[in-house]
Amino acid sequence: MQILATQGLCKTYGKGETQVQALKPTDIAVQKGEFVAIIGPSGSGKSTMLHMLGGLDYPTGGKVFIDGTDIFSMKEKELSVFRRRKIGFVFQAFNLVPVLSVEENITLPLLLDHAAPDKTYVQEVIHALGLEQRRTHLPSQLSGGQQQRVAIGRALAAKPAIILADEPTGNLDTQNSKEVLALLHMSVQTYNQTLIVITHNPEIAAHADRILRIEDGTVTELEAGGSHAQ
């Protein structure tokens, strides 16, 4: 089942002499349960693409379909609700709310959506992420690796159609990177999540089902890896 597709998706910044074609017209399709890594040099257009896939930034041209919805055909308010329900984000900077506990950070997107959290599922996620002993802690009381685990939990909480991660291990040491990688893997397998990850980490790329390489705004597909897709 196709969960994400782009048609001629492109982005140009600026005008005239300072114009930068950050993403050239791109058609990609991602199936439910796939783990896709995006690699490429700095400044090649990776974040630009990811932000548009998640409806965080508008394209200059083209379309993004998530779960069959043409996301940029929605009004801004509708899109922000759609994002909260359908897309989980994990960033390099963990972006947790400092005054909220681990558990509150994880359920925040649901509460913002006035949805009752599926308590059993949230507890299962907290357990799977190894955060049971930390549920009442504040982000400042956690290590970087633990904070990123909370961010993964927050991304999983709404059972989104897709999780988009931008350098999720960029701020972590080797051991914590390994743990975060294992948890991202777990989310793909246990919850049949679809995951698109920008990474410089060769281990993450090696575990992906597919690798997309971006260079100067042009996306090409590299070799296939694992086999989680359904």
Kindly tell me which of 48 and 146 has the beta carbon lying closer to ligand ADP: 48
Of the candidate residues 6, 44, 169, 194, the single one contacting ligand ADP (CB under 6 A) = 44
Is 6 a binding residue for ligand ADP by CB under 6 A? The answer is no
Residues comprising the chain, all counted = 230
Q: What is the biggest distance separating any 2 CA atoms in the chain, rounded to whole angstroms?
A: 56
Distance in angstroms between the alpha carbons of the first and the last residue of the chain: 7
- Smallest distance, Å, CB 181 to ligand ADP? 20
Amino acid (one-letter) located at 33? G
Kindly tell me which of 67 and 166 has the beta carbon lying closer to ligand ADP: 166
Question: Quick one: DSSP state of residue 117?
Answer: P
- Smallest distance, Å, CB 95 to ligand ADP? 17
Of the candidate residues 4, 28, 39, 46, the single one contacting ligand ADP (CB under 6 A) = 46
Of the candidate residues 8, 27, 43, 190, the single one contacting ligand ADP (CB under 6 A) = 43
DSSP string, 46-103: HHHHHHHHTTSS--SEEEEEETTEEGGGS-HHHHHHHHHHHEEEEESS----TTS-HH
Residue whose entry in the numeric block shows the structure tokens 């896709």: 36
Kindly tell me which of 19 and 192 has the beta carbon lying closer to ligand ADP: 19
CA separation for the pair 73, 71 (Å, rounded): 5
Query: Under rule CB under 6 A, how many of the chain's residues touch ligand ADP?
Result: 12
From 43-51, 59-67, 112-120, 185-193, span contacting ligand ADP (CB under 6 A): 43-51
Residue whose entry in the numeric block shows the structure tokens 């777990």: 186
Chain residues 8-27 in contact with ligand ADP, contact rule CB under 6 A: 13-14, 20, 22
Is 168 within 8 Å of 195 (Cβ atoms)? no
State the residues that interact with ligand ADP by CB under 6 A.
13-14, 20, 22, 40, 42-48
